[in-house]
Amino acid sequence: MKKTTVSTLVLGTLLTVSSQFAFAAPDWGKVPKRDINVFHAGVTPIEWVGKKSDHSGTAGMKKGESCVGCHEEKDTLNFNVKRLADKELEPKAAPKTILYPVAIQAAYDASNLYIRLTFKAPAGGADKGDKENEVKASVLFPDSKVPQAAQVGCWAACHLDVRTMPGADDKKTKYTKEGSYELMQWKSAKGAKAVDGTVASERKMDGGALGVKAEGAKAGDTYTVTFTRKSPGEGKTVPFGIAIHGDHASGRFHHVSLGYTLGLGANGDVKAVKQ
């Protein structure tokens, strides 16, 4: 009887220790960083992106070229920043900083995908519509049914008629005409819950199936945000996009990335490290 009890206790201890190792947070010191630049896009929804008279890259996109393939050069993006800063593409007012880097790291194990973002969200925003949150950090993952998902990242969810666009319905959120996005978001307000949502015919900030956990901290002027979500599975290449609302920004007054890919034991612009 005693042997059985001892064996059960030992087995339980081993399972507990094993579980702790299996789901332990990554050693981020061993995970490489990759800078992704985010930028204020103004009023450039997917309709603008697909209009040749507005966006010279339209022809390349129709051939299957990605936004990253055209615009990313070394450590920056080859945008006409003046265009993004003036009234042509931002009728209200652009933030003082148009473009800045976000360091991304990714790791995975049998159950989870871990994504860590490190960035300095600059002040000088033109909109302070979110009084509760100084910063919000979001990552979106389009499925294969979203048009041009791997090319444009989260751009396909941004339309001319969504709220904060000039003359649009203030109640209409981001949406897709086909397919859907998985959405996870961290908010800086004390006690704010991590967002595990979706973007399909409308944006929903809850009801997602990723099992999202998020934690963040600010040290000096630097934010570090870590997301945990269910793993898409080893061998997968997953499209994604990043959005940072800084300086209490809301709506379109965020800084966004182009569309990138994340590889879990597969090719990708960002390669997740197996734990």
Query: Does residue 113 form part of some domain?
Result: yes
Query: Does residue 194 form part of some domain?
Result: yes
Count of the separate structural domains present in the chain:
1
Domain residue limits at 260 = 35-274
Query: Does residue 235 form part of some domain?
Result: yes
User: What are 104-120's pLDDT values in tens digits?
Assistant: 999 999 999 999 999 99
Give the pLDDT confidence score for residue 214 in this predicted structure: 98
Can you give the C-alpha Rg of the chain in angstroms?
20
246, 136, 106, 121: which is closest to 197 by C-alpha? Answer: 136
CA 21 to chain centre: 27
Query: Does residue 14 form part of some domain?
Result: no
User: What are 198-222's pLDDT values in tens digits?
Assistant: 999 999 999 999 999 999 999 999 9
Amino acid identity at 268: G
User: What are 252-274's pLDDT values in tens digits?
Assistant: 999 999 999 999 999 999 999 99
- CB-based contacts of 11, cutoff 8 Å, min separation 6: none
Low-confidence ranges of the chain (pLDDT < 50): 1-22
Query: Does residue 69 form part of some domain?
Result: yes
Task: Count CA within 13 A, CB hemisphere, residue 19.
Answer: 6
128, 56, 130, 126: which is closest to 86 by C-alpha? Answer: 126
Query: Does residue 123 form part of some domain?
Result: yes
Planar angle of CA 200, 133, 89, nearest 5 degrees: 60
Give the pLDDT confidence score for residue 9 in this predicted structure: 40
Dmax over CA atoms of the chain, in Å, equals 82
Give the pLDDT confidence score for residue 4 in this predicted structure: 42
Please state, in angstroms and rounded to a whole number, the distance separating the CA atoms of residues 198 and 263.
21
Tell me if 141 sits within 8 A of 239, measured CB to CB: yes
Query: Does residue 20 form part of some domain?
Result: no
Please state, in angstroms and rounded to a whole number, the distance separating the CA atoms of residues 270 and 223.
20
Look up the CATH number of the domain holding residue 239: 2.60.40
Environment class of residue 26 by beta-carbon count within 10 Å: exposed (0-12), middle (13-18) or buried (19+)? buried
Give the pLDDT confidence score for residue 272 in this predicted structure: 98
Query: Does residue 142 form part of some domain?
Result: yes
Burial string for 92-120 (b: 16+ CB within 10 Å, else e) reads eebbebbbbbbebbbbbbeebbbbbbbbe
